[in-house]
């Protein structure tokens, strides 16, 4: 790989151990993927924050880097294993909380903004079209590439952190225009209304995509929340972390619809709902906010919960700055008065909840995939209205 003089100096250790180690990781990655050079980046989002995933070895690695490492660009974190303020109410054990806080402290020492969210673009880590960035979390990467038109590979935790500590990333994959062309056309005839309709569509497109880049037509005026839900599901079920929507996403106008075409009918959407929904109608856990809820979603949840009481454990996962906004607007009080709990900084997939619940109701196809694979829960997917109804009754009615 061709390195600049400054990159060579980082690699030789002239700027300390953390930058040296980081350049070693990035050069090794670049060689594997055939990158010719490094490219400067504007921002980073680091995954691998939950102590559940990192363990003791991961914590030691971070503490070592934090001795002399400082980030070069705006960097935020993916969700951690717990709400950093409200962890006791969510049933997180104290020994886990101690370890999780040590992880966050190590990131903070490196100059990272310790906002833990999979929607960094909603809380100030918002790239512009054409910016090169190094983000980790798959839904955020897919949203950034597709909806914003930024350029990022789906980084692992260590390679994203290495990019943050050096300000560069290897120039390959999604950073190159020639790799961003769509391969397969999905002609959407199904009617899409709710968040979970976009979740079901993401399942259909992802499972039919086979690691290609989808181009969708027939979708008009999706909301940002619908696009973030679609971003999370489509990459989880099998697409590359980029999609184009005719007349909606910024790069779609550069391309004609690909020749290979699949039509998405109303029946395909209904079959996707069936594939994502388990047997029975009991619900003992409701989780909203995958990806993390926006302020508009929190308003809708507050409207649905006003004057009601939830019967089962109900988590509303969101970024802490979004929750603060909801506090100011009075939504948080309505939500908490119902007995629902905020899960800021975290979510039901990265929190240590294995064995606590049997069946979950959610709006998100991505959540369905992970809670069934990791925790063996039965899943029910539906609109915000369906999920809040399940929270109040403990039953799934569709």
Which residues form the interface with ligand F3S (CB under 6 A)? 79, 118, 137, 139, 232, 290-292, 317, 347, 349-350, 366-367, 370
C-beta of 261: minimal distance to ligand F3S in Å? Answer: 29
Which CB, 269 or 349, lies closer to ligand F3S?
349
Q: Is the peptide bond before 30 cis (omega within 30 degrees of 0)?
A: no
C-beta of 328: minimal distance to ligand F3S in Å? Answer: 23
Which CB, 168 or 365, lies closer to ligand F3S?
365
What angle separates helix 384-393 from helix 295-305, to the nearest 10 degrees? 40
Which CB, 66 or 290, lies closer to ligand F3S?
290
Cβ atoms of 144 and 121 within 8 Å: the answer is yes
What is the distance between the alpha carbons of residues 154 and 90, in angstroms, rounded to a whole number?
30
β-pairing, 74-77 with 214-217?
unpaired
| Nearest-10 Cα torsion for 149, 152, 154, 158 | -150
C-beta of 346: minimal distance to ligand F3S in Å? Answer: 8
What is the distance between the alpha carbons of residues 72 and 167, in angstroms, rounded to a whole number?
5
C-beta of 17: minimal distance to ligand F3S in Å? Answer: 30
Which CB, 262 or 295, lies closer to ligand F3S?
295
Which CB, 27 or 367, lies closer to ligand F3S?
367
C-beta of 302: minimal distance to ligand F3S in Å? Answer: 19
Which CB, 19 or 240, lies closer to ligand F3S?
240
C-beta of 117: minimal distance to ligand F3S in Å? Answer: 8
């Amino acid at each position: 790989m061709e390195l600049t003089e400054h990159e060579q100096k980082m690699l030789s250790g002239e700027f300390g151990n953390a930058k040296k180690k980081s350049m070693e990781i990035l050069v090794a990655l670049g060689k594997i993927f055939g990158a010719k050079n490094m490219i400067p980046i504007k921002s980073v989002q680091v995954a691998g924050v939950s102590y559940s995933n990192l363990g003791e070895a991961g914590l030691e690695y971070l503490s070592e880097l934090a001795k002399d490492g400082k980030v070069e660009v705006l960097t935020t974190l993916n969700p951690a294993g717990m709400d950093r303020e409200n962890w006791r109410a969510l049933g997180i054990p104290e020994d886990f909380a101690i370890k999780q806080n040590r992880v966050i402290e190590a990131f903070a020492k490196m100059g990272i903004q310790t906002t833990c969210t999979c929607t960094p673009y909603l809380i100030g880590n918002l790239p512009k079209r054409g910016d090169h960035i190094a983000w980790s979390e798959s839904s955020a990467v897919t949203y950034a590439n597709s909806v914003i038109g930024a350029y990022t590979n789906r980084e692992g935790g260590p390679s994203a952190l290495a990019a943050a500590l050096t300000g560069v990333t290897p120039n390959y994959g999604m950073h190159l225009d020639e790799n961003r062309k769509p391969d397969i056309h999905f002609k959407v005839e199904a009617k899409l209304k709710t968040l979970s309709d976009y979740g079901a569509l993401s399942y259909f497109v992802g499972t039919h995509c086979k690691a290609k880049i989808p181009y969708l037509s027939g979708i008009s005026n999706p909301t940002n929340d619908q696009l973030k839900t679609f971003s999370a599901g489509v990459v989880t079920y099998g697409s590359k972390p980029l999609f184009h929507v005719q007349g909606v996403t910024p790069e779609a106008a550069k391309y004609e619809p690909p020749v290979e075409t699949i039509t998405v009918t109303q029946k395909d959407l209904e079959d996707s709902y069936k594939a994502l929904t388990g047997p029975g109608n009991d619900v003992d856990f409701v989780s909203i906010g995958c990806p993390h809820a926006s302020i508009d979603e929190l308003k809708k949840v507050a409207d649905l919960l006003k004057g009601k009481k939830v019967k089962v454990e109900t988590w509303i996962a969101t970024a802490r700055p979004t929750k603060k906004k909801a506090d100011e607007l009075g939504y948080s009080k309505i939500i908490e008065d119902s007995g629902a709990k905020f899960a800021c900084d975290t979510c039901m997939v990265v929190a240590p909840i294995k064995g606590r619940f049997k069946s979950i109701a959610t709006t998100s196809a991505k959540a369905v995939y992970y809670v069934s694979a990791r925790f063996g829960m039965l899943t029910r997917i539906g609109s915000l209205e369906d999920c809040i109804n399940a929270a109040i009754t403990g039953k799934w009615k569709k």
